[in-house]
Structure 1
């Protein structure tokens, strides 16, 4: 991206972006059935609006997600991806149902997971929490492609997206904040064992 802002405009952009980051509320929740250590590949779900391939703001969100997924060892693939990525921007205030859960990173690190045949008495159980998310919310959902079940939601509220390049900056920053909640690397990636390449074949 070429920056053509004057110094004054650049400082204004930086300050306004910092204010938006401080006001944002970032949360996440996850499915106990998620097989997080098995996921290595992903693909985006396309649609209308922000999810459209022709949307400039949507492109900024996808690029930011791609960057984080790559850093954490995931590879884009159109051939039977492990995860489907969906995102949506909600305007204004909204009521959202989250869950009171153990720390996500600890859950995955301990190798915890529930299967369909896990006895009822051994299941963790979900404790719903009603949340009021204000002034715009960016929601990112990861879906297990095999089961077609959402396994992780990350969301940032207080996301006010101005027009022009500044809106792209705000969305990229929001994506980074959201994925700070998904601090999971693919199995073997940090040890150089994940050698899967990017696959865009249909």
Structure 2
């Protein structure tokens, strides 16, 4: 697991210039291949051993959304806010398209899902993600070695290899808070999602 501490700035999308010292820190991390060693300290650096079964990310060209993301009436995993859900989805969609992936409504090479957490949480299994997070036709087991602790105000993004039914990558940003509430400022959310995808080193095209 590779983890770096980044900082929300005034006008975060524009960079760090002119930031206020009162801005909260945002912790960004990712797991590749779904087989990273379990972290004892989620905010420390974890060394992993290369796996002989490393996923070939060059084979992924298209992506689809998980069923609960496509369900326009589902706000369960998005603080009961459809506008906020659409904001995060659009930010993730922007990052995927900018990396050369093509959206496929059904049958994409990668199945994407995400949810947000306004309170600190620890993800150990699919049960911790919530019933219905993966649909009945999306039986993807969560690898317990992907255990991760998320601070208050977190966005978690996951990628599933649809053909193999395994998780191949996940990334998160924690610390998007405004007082005791999740900070839904569009610029900050887009910037945080962008920081998550800075951890993703692959493309769906040949660039």
TM band (smaller chain)? 0.5 to 0.7
Query: In 2 relative to 1, CA 29–82 (structure 1 residues): closer, same or farther, beyond 3 Å?
Result: same
Could you tell me which residue of structure 2 aligns to residue 40 of structure 1? 61
Moved over 4 A (4+): 11-16, 126-131, 161-166
Residue 149 of structure 1 pairs with residue 176 of structure 2: no
Could you tell me which residue of structure 2 aligns to residue 29 of structure 1? 31
Q: TM-score, normalised by structure 1?
A: 0.61
Query: In 2 relative to 1, CA 42–58 (structure 1 residues): closer, same or farther, beyond 3 Å?
Result: same
**1:78 to partner: Cα distance:** 1.6
Gaps of at least 5 residues in structure 2 are 1-8, 13-18, 34-52, 125-142
Do the aligned residues in 2 keep the contact of 1:51 with 1:87 (CA within 8 Å)?
no
Q: Secondary structure at the match of 2:59?
A: coil
Gaps of at least 5 residues in structure 1 are 1-10, 98-125, 191-202
Q: Deviations over 1:84-121 (max 9, x none)?
A: 11001012112346xxxxxxxxxxxxxxxxxxxxxxxx
Match of 2:97 among 61, 66, 70: 70
Do the aligned residues in 2 keep the contact of 1:83 with 1:145 (CA within 8 Å)?
yes
**CA–CA separation in structure 1 for the residues paired with 2:58 and 2:106:** 19
Aligned length: 148
Could you tell me which residue of structure 1 aligns to residue 201 of structure 2? 183
Q: TM-score, normalised by structure 2?
A: 0.59
Listed as ranges, the matches of 1:49-198 within 5 Å are 49=75, 50=77, 55-96=82-123, 128=145, 131-160=148-177, 166-187=184-205, 189-190=206-207
Question: Of Structure 1 and Structure 2, which has the larger fraction of its residues in helix?
Answer: 1
**CA–CA separation in structure 1 for the residues paired with 2:178 and 2:186:** 8
Query: Relative contact order (alpha carbons < 8 A, sep ≥ 6): 1 or 2 greater?
Result: 1
Over alpha carbons, which structure has the higher Rg?
1
Q: CA RMSD in A?
A: 3.4
